[in-house]
Amino acid sequence: MSKPNNVRRYAIEKYNREESIISNNYGNNLFYLSKHLKKVYPIEHHKTCSQTFINDFSSPLDHKKREILDNNIVVPQVIPCPNEKELMRCSWITNSTDKVYVQFHDECWGVPVYDDHQLFELLSLAGLLMDFNWTEILKIREQIREAFVGFNAKQVAKMGEKEINEVVSNVSLMLAENRVRSIVDNAKCIVKIGEEFGSLSCYMWNHMNYKAIINRFRNARDVPLRSPKAEAISKDLVKRGLRHVGPVVINSFMQAAGMTIDHLIYCFRHKECLNLAERPWRHV
């Protein structure tokens, strides 16, 4: 075989190897995004995860491969509420969804929160989404609340090594030491925020111009993992020394705290949370 043909064959083989490696990396990243999304919304797969990856990162996959990936992602169908056929919930609530999460969806998620202790709690719980999903967190919420003295930032900021080690060694919580320490360190930063702005509530809602963002999404795939507002708040919190407050965490926090209304428009809670969000801002 001539030398030019050998060179050409080598180039083709090298290209195929590189394409295979990049394709595998793409699949791994797609799996990671889907896995993280399931922590935030307990649904199977979310089309946004593939769209986010394709839009934010260049990929050598051709159009046909992308189309196959997108078509294989399952978007849950809207189903009636169990035992309440007249009500409709967001499509990530299914017949197999744990009751503790259903209750959270029906009573808490999307309700505007103005109390400093509750805001600090939701911010801390959202930070735990890197290790757990909402259902797992909610099942031990009371124990977490007790461990961090009701999420009173001033009290948490005073926790020393003894108290931190007690929380870390609590087998019912299974919290990593760095997570516990970050909550304590964040409490110290939140105390300073309170001194500067009057309260954590004033600080957070000032970012929102004292109005919740009201979205009207019809499909779960349209609900974003992050938003420009979440990115802005995250950036400022990081600058103030807080940890584990990336844009995805902050977006989850905003959804839980009613700063963003992301119930799907046909969900019975959308209208209820919208009415609550339209009330004049108040600080408790």
- Could you read off the pLDDT of 242-271 as tens digits, one per residue? 999 999 999 999 999 999 999 999 999 999
Is the confidence at residue 181, as pLDDT, over 70? Answer: yes
202 is known to lie in a ligand binding site: no
Query: Looking at residue 130, what DSSP letter applies?
Result: G
- CA distances (Å), origin 253, targets 73, 119, 161, 224, 246: 26, 8, 28, 13, 10
Q: How far is residue 101's CA from residue 112's CA, in Å, rounded to a whole number?
A: 18
User: What tens digit of pLDDT does each residue of 13-70 get?
Assistant: 554 555 454 445 444 444 444 445 555 555 433 333 333 332 333 333 333 333 433 4
Mean pLDDT, residues 64-84: 41
> CA nearest 172: which of 206, 202, 143?
143
User: Largest alpha-carbon pair distance within the chain?
Assistant: 82
Summarised one tens digit per residue, pLDDT across range 105-156 is 999 999 999 999 999 999 999 999 989 999 999 999 999 999 999 999 999 9
Is the Cβ–Cβ distance between 205 and 281 less than 8 Å?
yes
49 is in an annotated binding site: no
Task: Give the pLDDT of residue 282.
Answer: 64
Answering whether pTM is above 0.85, one says no
Q: What is the pLDDT of residue 2?
A: 53
Q: What is the structure's pLDDT at 86?
A: 63
Question: Which residue in the block uniquely carries the two structure tokens 């990856």?
Answer: 53
Helix/strand/coil for 86 = strand
Ranges of each domain in the chain: 3-71, 88-277
pLDDT band at 180 (very low <50, low <70, confident <90, very high): very high
CB 283 within 8 A of CB 114: yes
Which one-letter DSSP state was computed for residue 77? P
Query: At residue 215, does pLDDT exceed 80?
Result: yes
Percent of the chain with pLDDT over 70: 68
> Residue 254 CA to chain centroid, in angstroms?
9
Query: Among residues 1, 49, 43, which one has the least CA distance to residue 28?
Result: 49
User: Does residue 279 carry a pLDDT above 90?
Assistant: no
pLDDT at 114: 95
Confidence class of residue 280 from pLDDT cuts 50, 70 and 90? Answer: confident
- 3-state SS assignment for residue 140: coil
- In this prediction, residue 144 carries a pLDDT of 97
Closest alpha carbon to 75 in 124, 30, 107, 41 = 41
Q: Is 189 annotated as a binding residue?
A: no
Pair of tokens at residue 90: 């967001």
* % of the chain residues with pLDDT over 90: 66
**88-277 carries CATH number 1.10.1040.10:** no
105 is in an annotated binding site: yes
pLDDT at residue 87 in the model: 83
